[in-house]
Amino acid sequence: MARQKSSRKDKTPAGPDREALRRHIRARGAEYLDDPNITSVGIGRKNGDGPLCIQFTVGIKGDSAIEALGSRRIPDVIEVEGEPVPTDVIQRSYRPSWEIVEAEAADLRRSRADPLRPGISVAHPAETAGTLGLIVFDRATGAPCILSNWHVLHGNRGRIGDRVVQPGPFDDNDTALNGAGTLLRSHLGAAGDCALARIRQRDVDRSVYGLDVTPRWMARVELGDRLVKSGRTTAITHGIVRRVDVMAKLDYGLPAGRQAIGCFEIGPDPERPSPDGEISKGGDSGAAWLVMADDAPTDIFAGLHFAGEGLGQSDEHALACYPASVQKKLDFVLEPPGAALAADAGMDTVVPRAGYDPGFLGVPVPEPGLSTAQKRDAVNFGRAQTIPYTHFSVCLSARRRMARYVAWNVDGARMVVLPRRPFTLDPRIDAKHQLGDELYAGNRLDRGHIARRADLCWGPVAEARQANQDSFYFTNIAPQHERFNQSARSGLWGELENLVLEQADVQDIRLAVQAGPVFGEDDTPYRGALIPRAFWKLIAYRGGDGRLRAAAFVLSQSDLLHDLEELDLDPFRIHQLSLTELARRTALDFEPLYPADVLAHPELVTRPAAPEALADPAATFIEISSPAKLRF
C-alpha cells in the first residue's frame, strides 16, 4: 500500500535500488524528453510484470518513424550509477484532460453547489470545465481553498487574482453568478500541473462526492497500489499504479507550450472496471486519486489527476501529480489550522466581544434607529440596548423573545471554515427573554440564523472560532420554515450576499449587513410564540468609486405557515424595496442610509437595471425571480 516513506528496496537483477533509478530520472528526465519522439520516461516493470526498468513511451515506434522524426534509438540497457538497467518502450502519448465529453445525464457534479465538494465541476471563466480535487487550507492564513490543475483554474488566458467559477462555463455559462473564489497560486512544470483558489462566499464540505471520505493524509504511491478517484465526467473510477517517477511531455498550447511534468501513471483496475472501460475523460482534470484499502476508499491523498491518453489511443491510462510536490509549490495543508481548537467546546473565550462595527467599511453604516416603544422593549446589556457578540450585535425584543434586528460585519477576504456547534441559550441573558429548543421540536420550523454563520467566521482562528460559537446562541436565531432557511432548499438569503459580491464592484470584499423579522400583530401564534411572516435584510458596501451603496430586501414565508407540521412547496418570492419602505414596514429608522439607497438613487447602480424594473421603486416592491433584476 502507499505510504509516506518506503522501506522496500526493489532491485533489478544485480541492479541499483529504486532510489538510484529515481535519482537518474530526476537528473536525465528533461534530457530524454528533448527527443521529439519520446513522450515520457519513468520507473516501471518490464513487459508489465517483469523486473524494474526504465520505461519510455514514444509517439511512434519503428525504424522509419525514428528516422523521419530525427529521433534516437533507445538502448536496451542504460547504465545507472555503474549498474546496467533494462529499458522498456511503449507507444503512447498524452494530453491534458481538458477536452469536455458530454455527460449522459445531468447530476450534482455539473450544477452549482453550496457547499462546495471535491468531485464537482470548476474552472477559470475562460476555460471549459474540470474537477474540484480537494478542499485544502492556505498554510499562511488558514483560508479554505480549491485544489485543482493549472489548466483548470489558471490556463493560458488567466492570471493570479482572477475569479474561478463553479460549475465551469461548459456546464453553466452564467459565470457572473457562479463565482466561487479567486486564483491564489499556481504552478506548471516539473513539480506538477496544479493551482489553488481561495474560496469566496461559499460554504464547504470537504468529503469527496460519491466517496464520502475526507482526505487527511498524503502518501507516495508504489507500483501496484490500488487507487480510486471522483471526477466531474467519469465519476467514480478505479485504477492501479503501473509506473512511478515519470516525466511526461505535454503540449498546453500557447503561450505555455510544451511542458515536462513530474507524475506517476495509473492503469485500469481489472477487478473494478468502469462501465465503458475509461478511468478518466475530458473534464476529470483536477480530481484527487485516493488510496484504496480493504476494498474501500481511505482518507489518503495519492495524486492529482491531470492527463490521460492521447486521442485515438486504446491503451487506457491516466497521469497524476505527486501530492508532496504539489503541496510544496502551492503551500497548503489538508487540515485547517487551529482545527483542534475549534473542536474544543470547553475552550474559554479569549477575544473581547466588540459587537457590530459601524465604521467597518470606512464610512459610517449605523445600526437602525429605535422608536421610543422599541427602546422600552429592548433587552438592555448594561446601559446598551444591543447585545455585543464577535462580529455582530443583537437588538433583542423582550416581548417577542427574539431579535428585532441583528447587525454584522463580513470580511470576505478572511473567511475561516469551522464546524457547526450546538444551539444554546446565551448565559449572559435571562432565559425568559429567549426562545429555546421547545419551540422547534417535532415540526417544520428550523432554528434560522439571522446573521449567517459563514458570514461571521473570519479573522484569526481564535476570533473566528468564538464568532462561530456566538452565532449559535438563540438570541441570533429565529423560527423559519425549513424551506425558507435551509441552503439545500435554495438558501435565498445567503445567495443575496453572494450576488452582491459577484455582481457589484465591492471594495475590499467587505459588507455591513443588517437583518431581522418583520414583526406584525397578525403573526402566526404557535407554542406560546408569534412566528414572523416575513424577514428583511439590508446589505451595505462601498463600490470601487468609494461611494456607499445599500440595498434592502424582504422575503415572505407567510404561505408556508398555514400548517407548521406539513411541508408546503409553494415557491418563495424575494422583493427588493426602498429603505423608506423598509422603515415603514419595520418602524425602524434607516434615514442616515437614505443617500446610499440604490433604488432611490439609480445613479449608484453599477450595472444597468433590467427593463422590467419599475419606474417608482419607492412606491412598490420589485419581484426578483431572476438574479438579473437585482440592482446593486
State yes or no: pLDDT of 579 exceeds 50.
yes
pLDDT in tens, 299-313: 999 999 999 875 556
State yes or no: pLDDT of 628 exceeds 70.
no
- Percent of the chain having pLDDT more than 90? 47
Does residue 376 contact residue 460 with C-beta atoms inside 8 Å?
A: no
Which CA distances in Å does 595 have to 161, 503, 579, 604, 619?
Answer: 32, 21, 10, 10, 17
Q: What is the pLDDT of residue 481?
A: 59
Q: What is the mean pLDDT of residues 368-392?
A: 94
Chain centroid offset of residue 623 CA: 30
State yes or no: pLDDT of 347 exceeds 60.
no
Does residue 603 contact residue 547 with C-beta atoms inside 8 Å?
A: no
Q: Residue 303 carries which DSSP code? A: E
Least confident of 54-63, 83-92, 132-141, 567-576: 567-576
pLDDT in tens, 412-469: 878 777 777 889 999 889 989 999 888 877 766 778 889 988 889 888 878 888 999 9
| Res. 558 pLDDT band, cuts 50 70 90 | low
Does residue 265 contact residue 243 with C-beta atoms inside 8 Å?
A: yes
Q: What is the pLDDT of residue 314?
A: 64
Q: What is the pLDDT of residue 85?
A: 92
* H runs (alpha helix) in 395-491: 453-456, 461-471, 482-485
Cα(354)–Cα(470) distance, integer angstroms: 12
Question: Which pTM value belongs to this model?
Answer: 0.52
pLDDT in tens, 610-624: 333 323 333 333 333
More confident residue, 356 or 22: 356
pLDDT in tens, 117-144: 999 999 999 999 999 999 999 887 788 9
Q: What is the mean pLDDT of residues 46-51?
A: 84
| Res. 182 pLDDT band, cuts 50 70 90 | very high
Cα(167)–Cα(131) distance, integer angstroms: 9
Average pLDDT over all residues of the chain:
82
Q: What is the mean pLDDT of residues 32-59?
A: 88
List the beta bridge partners of residue 381. Answer: 384
| Res. 627 pLDDT band, cuts 50 70 90 | very low
